[in-house]
Structure 1
Amino acid sequence: MSRPEILFPLFAGMETLDGVGPKTTKAFEGLGVQKPKDLLFLLPHSGVDRSRKASIRDVVPPCTVTVEVEVGAHFPARQKGRPYRVMVRDAALEFQLVFFHARGDYLQGLLPTGQRRLVSGRVELFDSIAQMVHPDHVLRPEEAGDLPTFEPVYPLAAGITQRQVAKAAASALARAPSVAEWIDPGLLAREGWPDWLAALQSAHAPTDQQALTFTHPARQRLAYDELFAHQLTLSLARANLRRGQGTASIGTGALQAKVLASLPYAPTNAQTRAVAEIAQDMAQPLRMNRLLQGDVGSGKTLVAFLALLVAVEAGGQGVMMAPTEILARQHRDGLAPLAEAAGIRLELLTGRDKGTEREAKLAALREGRIHILVGTHAVFQKDVHFQDLRLAVVDEQHRFGVSQRMELGAKGQAADVLVMTATPIPRSLALASYGDMDVSVLDEKPAGRKPIKTVMVSGARMDEVIGHLARAVAEGRQAYWVCPLVEESELVDYASAEERFASLRAILGEVVGLVHGQMPAAEKDAAMARFVAGITKVLVATTVIEVGVNVPNASIMVIERAEIFGLAQLHQLRGRVGRGAVSSTCLLVYQAPLSESGERRLKVIRDTEDGFRISEEDLSMRGAGDLIGTAQSGLPRFRVADLERQAGLMAVAQSDARALLVIDPDLTSQRGRAARVLLWLLDQDRAIKLISVG
């Protein structure tokens, strides 16, 4: 699919724009501007009121003022480093224009004594004398019309001035063509948005502060365009993935019923609903690509296992993948009793399996005698073959990109994919990152889960904390003690964990264990195994335990220097306790004095256990890029759209994009062709490739 001709001028070199040479072109790269079209979306972030006043008497300095003056005497600098002053008089008052490092002949020409000029700049009082240092604008009265009453202020980068950006932006804007509308006509009318070109012109020429806000119709329209283009790309990717024929797996419910009958509790409504959504997807001849999002302790594993049983009931096999060996073992141990209840064969395959044992497992897998395989990425190896793989469940999304999802799909005849994540993500971000997937959410806690008591404790009371811990250990309870990532360096970290380990061991004795990121994997596994077995009562750890470890007897979580952790991390760590019959406690040990944001974070954790509420708070405090860690999230960088404030628009964009592709999968209709222009404008090359392939 080739670039539409009307866009050619916007894809020309930067040097074709007014006032842009090789040096400025280089400087513009610092603003992420490489083509004239990029300038269209580089919007002013603020503005300066340049409306005319009769005299600086009418304002309260310090402030920006625009006023017509008569130029008086010049007073050149007496010695090096002193300012050059020019006396001027407006309708009511005399004041000074002040210049540093300026050439006298230049200033004589700019401000000839006895003539009238329009000056605009910031006025301040020095020793009760009004001064304007380096006016932003000095114009002849007949040029006054060139100065807008409200002047937009653009973002800058090194080596580039406001004037250069404004001039280049105006030059790019002059090339913007009138384009066919890609937004759904009903939506456009309902929102009262301008068309694309009008929206750009209005956004680059704000008339007041109101025009700079994200609620302004022109800005909303441009934000929507970005979100719509992004969702079109994701929807095209999703359609492409689903085009790969899947296999319809229709469960009988027989094995599921056996498992449910063996459970001591009934599943929550959310679990039942999620299983139904997944089963319905699996029954379709299209490939499933679904995200199962559930908070810590919401019972995702049961849902995933019931989904795997659908595959087995339909005569196929299932695989469950975990990011680490420890987690794979835990899944196996947790699922073994369920598999027994269902009467099916479940096996574990990790990098540790060697020789004849491994051969035997692979043969059983190939011949279909193993119904469900639990494993690490070892199941990706070339010699692993399934007889009939129908469903792949992937645990913990962040360590698993789109490419691995594809690779896993290739193992089966286009196996259905279910991704589980324990990180509640606000809806707007879930749509931005996983818009190519359908989402099931578990938003209830299973019955019998006791709330976790969360307390904030100042580090000054460390002795009390340790005393509390000693009593709990004496009663046979187990605890985690998490040491902070002090610096980005693992070594410092490791030192702080070692130190805490030594001091606790001195007080509590042999029952204290240690696990941290620098240990060899086998040692880490062994340390964890001792804790799981209850030999170790207190496990001192760096954040390596954040994901997935399940020790029901552990009922105390101490987080040291809690104020330096992020909200999501604190919530994940706290979720390691509260899994057993006894009530659990989480102690947030902080170092006083707390910063305002540190205090706010700790209070949010103290006051709620709802991961979705916590993630919404996190989003409003940190912003979208930080929340998922932009580098590894592949979260799109939006220029106009603000994910925190425009979450609602993202949902509309998703349904709009999906609806358009239902009626026009190849974007060949009039509106579809308009949407192609939008994809070109916003660099969605991935989408463009998908259309040309499709």
Structure 2
Amino acid sequence: MSTRPEPLFPLFAELESLDGVGPKTARALAQMGVERPRDLLFALPHSVIDRRRRDTVQGAELPAVLTVEVTVGTHRAPRQRSGAYRVQVEDAATGFQLVFFHARPDYLQRVLPPGSRRIVSGKVELFDGIAQMVHPDHILPPEEAGEMPEFEPVYPLTAGVTQKTMARAVRAALARAPDLPEWIDPVQKARAAWPGWRDALAAAHAPEGHVDLAATAPARERLAYDEFMAHQLTLALARARLRRGKGRETHGTGALQAKVLENLEFRPTAAQTRAVEEIAADMRAPRRMNRLLQGDVGAGKTLVAFLALLIAVEAGGQGVMMAPTEILARQHLEGLRPLAEVAGVRLEILTGRDKGATRQAKLVALAEGGIDVLVGTHAVFQKDVAFHDLRLAIVDEQHRFGVRQRLELGRKGARADVLVMTATPIPRSLSLAQYGDMDISLLDEKPPGRQPIRTAMVSTARGEEVVDHLRRAVADGRQAYWVCPLVEESEAVDLIAAEDRFGRLRAALGEGVVGLVHGQMPPEDKDAAMARFQSGETKVLVATTVIEVGVNVPNATIMVIERAEIFGLAQLHQLRGRVGRGSGASTCLLLYQAPLSDSAARRLTTLRDTEDGFRIAQVDLEMRGAGDLIGTAQSGLPRFRVAEVERQAALMAIAQSDARRLLADDPTLETARGQAARTLLWLMGQDEALRLISVG
């Protein structure tokens, strides 16, 4: 079924084909992302007004929206044109006033003739002890009262669209919603007591109180599940396609791994051991591995990665480890070198800096199998780079690496296993949404011997004390980072801030003690400045956020983050992770400019109170929402209209296992439920995914 199913045609027609939607309204709705009748179905009300009738306004807790039947009394026009026009009315027990500003008296005489019975509904408030309903929302003769719902849904609006227009457009769209075959697993649907799709829509648009507006209301939960299901089906289809590409069975002997483990000064954590076992099992299987290794700062990903690379070498193949920047690639090389020496494997690096004969010699060695493990930047992607037998590709720092690069890498080693590493802890809900096509290994414990980092908040007014603290630390032979803020998007301004701070610290601490790195420097100058700091030649490194990922200087025990309140939580956590890597006690000072906003205060106190990256990521998610957390543009995260990624992680997990199970039983979606699932993908605009279903 490569074309849209016919029952869905009316939902994908032009908006103007709906009753009451003209070109102007259609343009206004498009501002809200509503472009087709189907979009109106998922534009759910955010609150509800109770318009049930009562006999009298007397005894009601005011202010409140009330609906009563009244007898119309006298009209009082204002003395000045700008004054209020008042109509006295009587309900079953008391009198009150209807108040209108900028009124047209002839119109009001027509709508509210004295002596007539009318039903009025609107907000009633007390002014000088008199109950008033200012500009009633509804004025109807009693025989037309049926037109007003007892509970009126309130929709999010945009300029040029009123509640009335929106409600009418939604009603017209609902009238077009067809009965669709059920795509949810019947057992799941019964267990959750969810209505069918069409009934769920009708109920979600007709809430009868606040309970019906909650994400847990059966109708809303079902519609959220549909969105998750479509998204997870798409990821599962991508995953199935990847797995159909035949992998290689890579069986390690354990001999090289044993050498490394014998020479370690500590035992690997249970989490590290478990991750290596999961990776080894994937590599032994005939399918291609597609796994994410997720670990907090300092959880020991490097060891896990190297043991995985050794499995490839033990099986007679090669491994490659790729980093997003040259600095990081060189650092991986430094980190892996001692392990490689112990294991007796040939380790080499390839970056854009390799030129001429050196580069040629490396390429020959690589193609002939003279290099076991290659570390590199994306230079590894270049056309002339060929491996003798690539078994495992490890990609560091996932978010700089889209799905497209993952596929590109797959072409290098036609059937190489892929392991992606990220040091950004991601809450479970987001990792399901973003990496649902991958299997996930978590490193959720710290290796023994990692020192806790003491974190303190210090006002910039006490800047001089911080400089004194640094002076003493440097005298004791310790090292420190001083991170300058990215004040504006312009790097030129940041540069001035960084150079200014560098000048002031150099004046305070002495020539040759302070180094500087920033994004505008040529790569070789940046590397040279980093190298001087790593070797201990400079004691304090002033930097913009270029040092966020990966730099490893065990002797650095102080991290000063200037204007910490303008950094994001995850970024602060990454920066703090640059210290606490050696045996010395470490400190992180969050320099902030008072007064702090509520959200800035929450970010800084969260960081001060915990080092658990997953806890920090969860708070970050609650504060910023999913889209901002990973930048929706590059996150591949769909825009859910009903579902809430942050709050409905458990629902997403059920959708993931359901989608995977459905495809395991029915890989080409041919059964009745499979066909229904295809309709769901079309309905949710995920029909691209259907192209991933291979023929036969």
TM-score (norm 2): 0.97
Determine the structure 1 residue equivalent to 2:663: 661
SS in 2 for 1:84: strand
The Cα offsets for residues 624-658 of structure 1, whole Å up to 9 and x where unpaired, read as 22222222212221111111211111111111111
Superposed counterparts of 1:505-544, under 5 Å: 505-510=506-511, 511-544=513-546
Question: Are 1:247 and 1:413, in contact at CA under 8 Å, matched by a contact in 2?
Answer: no
* 1:585-624 matched pairs, under 5 angstroms: 585-624=587-626
5 Å-filtered alignment, 1:542-691, equals 542-691=544-693
| 2:178 partner SS | coil
1:423-462 to structure 2, matched below 5 A, reads 423-462=424-463
Which SS does the other structure have where 1:57 is aligned? coil
CA contact (8 A) 1:213 1:219 kept: yes
- What residue number does 2:220 align with? 219
Q: Measured at CA, do residues 488 and 132 of structure 1 come closer, stay the same or move farther in structure 2, by a change above 3 Å? A: farther
The separation in 1 between residues aligned to 2:72 and 2:524, in whole angstroms, is 82
- 1:408 aligns to what? 409
Matches within 5 A, 1:102-501: 102-501=103-502
Partners of 2:241 and 2:693 within 8 A in 1: no
> How does 1:12-23 map onto structure 2 within 5 Å?
12-23=13-24
- Taking the aligned partners of 1:378 and 1:553, their CA distance within structure 2 comes to 31
1:73 to partner: Cα distance:
3.1
Q: Give the match's secondary structure for 1:435.
A: coil
Shift of residue 367, structure 1, vs aligned partner: 0.9
Does the Cα contact within 8 Å between 2:331 and 2:551 map onto a contact in 1? yes
Cα distance in structure 2, aligned partners of 1:156 and 1:422: 40
Shift of 1:80: 4.3
Q: Say which SS state the counterpart of residue 156 (structure 1) adopts.
A: coil
SS in 1 for 2:693: helix
* More deviation, 528-537/617-626: 617-626
Contact 1:121 1:137 in 2 (8 A): yes
Contact 1:397 1:419 in 2 (8 A): yes
- What letter corresponds to residue 371 of structure 2 in structure 1? I
Distance 1:12 1:575 in 2: 53
Larger mean CA deviation between 281-290 and 72-81 belongs to 72-81
Deviations 1:110-135 (A, max 9, x none): 22222121111112233333322221
Cα displacement (A) at 1:102: 4.0
8 Å CA contact 2:75, 2:87 repeated in 1: yes
- Partners in 2 of 1:51 and 1:32 — Cα distance? 33
Matched, 1:3 2:4: yes
Question: Aligned partners of 1:450, 1:558: CA distance in 2, in Å?
Answer: 18
The one-letter amino acid of 1:421's match is T
Q: Which runs of 5+ in 2 are unaligned?
A: none
Offset of residue 13 of structure 1: 1.4
Q: 1:514 Cα deviation (Å)?
A: 1.6
CA distance in structure 1 between the aligned counterparts of 2:105 and 2:53, rounded to whole angstroms: 28
User: How far does residue 100 in structure 1 lie from its aligned partner after superposition?
Assistant: 3.2
**Structure 1 residue 692, shift from structure 2 partner:** 6.4
Deviations 1:22-78 (A, max 9, x none): 111111112211111111111111111112122222323222111112223334454
Partner amino acid for 2:158? A
Q: 1:113 & 1:482 partners in 2: Cα distance? A: 75
CA contact (8 A) 2:329 2:375 kept: yes
3-state SS, counterpart of residue 448 of structure 1: coil
Aligned-pair CA distance for 1:467: 1.0
Deviates more, 1:239-248 or 1:497-506: 497-506
TM-fit CA distance, 1:398? 0.8
Counterpart contact for 1:317–1:391, Cα < 8 Å? yes
Q: Note the C-alpha offset of 1:96.
A: 2.8
Shift of the 113–632 alpha-carbon distance from structure 1 to 2, 3 Å rule, reads same
The separation in 1 between residues aligned to 2:694 and 2:103, in whole angstroms, is 59
Deviation at 1:693, TM superposition (A): 6.0
Secondary structure, aligned partner of 2:58: helix
Residue-by-residue CA offset, 1:478-526 (whole Å, 9 max, x unaligned)? 1011122223333332222222222211111121112222333332222
Partners of 1:56 and 1:504 lie apart in 2 by 71
Structure 2: distance between partners of 1:494 and 1:42: 45
Counterpart of 1:41? 42
SS in 1 for 2:98: strand
Superposed CA RMSD: 1.6
Tell me how far 1:155 sits from its aligned partner.
0.9
Counterparts of 1:647 and 1:599, CA distance in 2: 27
Q: Distance in 2 between matches of 1:80 and 1:384?
A: 83
1:390–1:413 CA contact under 8 A, matched in 2: no
Shift of 1:599: 2.3
Say how many residue pairs are matched: 694
**What's the CA shift for 1:79?**
4.1
Distance in structure 2 (CA, Å) of the matches to 1:200 and 1:61 = 33
- Assess if the C-alpha contact under 8 Å between 1:428 and 1:643 holds in 2: yes
Q: Aligned partners of 1:609 and 1:87: how far apart in 2?
A: 65
- Please give the alpha-carbon distance, in whole angstroms, between the structure 1 residues aligned to 2:311 and 2:541: 39
- Structure 2 Cα separation of the partners of residues 417 and 307 of structure 1: 11
The worse-fitting range, judged by mean Cα deviation, of 419-428 and 104-113 is 104-113
Equivalent residues of 2:51, 2:67 under 8 A apart = yes
Q: How far, CA to CA, are the matches of 2:631 and 2:42 in structure 1?
A: 24
Per the alignment, residue 74 of structure 2 pairs with 73
Deviates more, 1:257-266 or 1:294-303: 257-266
Q: Matched residue of 1:58: which SS?
A: coil
Give the Cα–Cα distance (whole angstroms) in 1 for the partners of residues 485 and 631 of structure 2: 18
Partner Cα distance (1:625, 1:428) in 2: 12
Distance 2:363 2:146 in 1: 81
One-letter code aligned to 2:636: G
Structure 1 distance, partners of 2:160, 2:690, is: 34
In structure 2, the CA distance between the partners of 1:555 and 1:146, relative to structure 1 (3 Å rule), is same
In the TM superposition, residue 440 of structure 1 has moved relative to its aligned partner by 0.4
Letter in 2 for 1:566: G
Report percent identity of matched pairs: 72
SS of the residue corresponding to residue 231 of structure 1 reads: helix
1:577 aligned partner, one-letter code = V
Which deviates more from structure 2 when the two are superposed, residues 427-436 or residues 2-11? 2-11
The separation in 1 between residues aligned to 2:486 and 2:114, in whole angstroms, is 65
Cα separation, 2, equivalents of 1:450 and 1:15: 64
SS at match of 1:417: strand
| Most deviating of 406-415 and 514-523 | 514-523
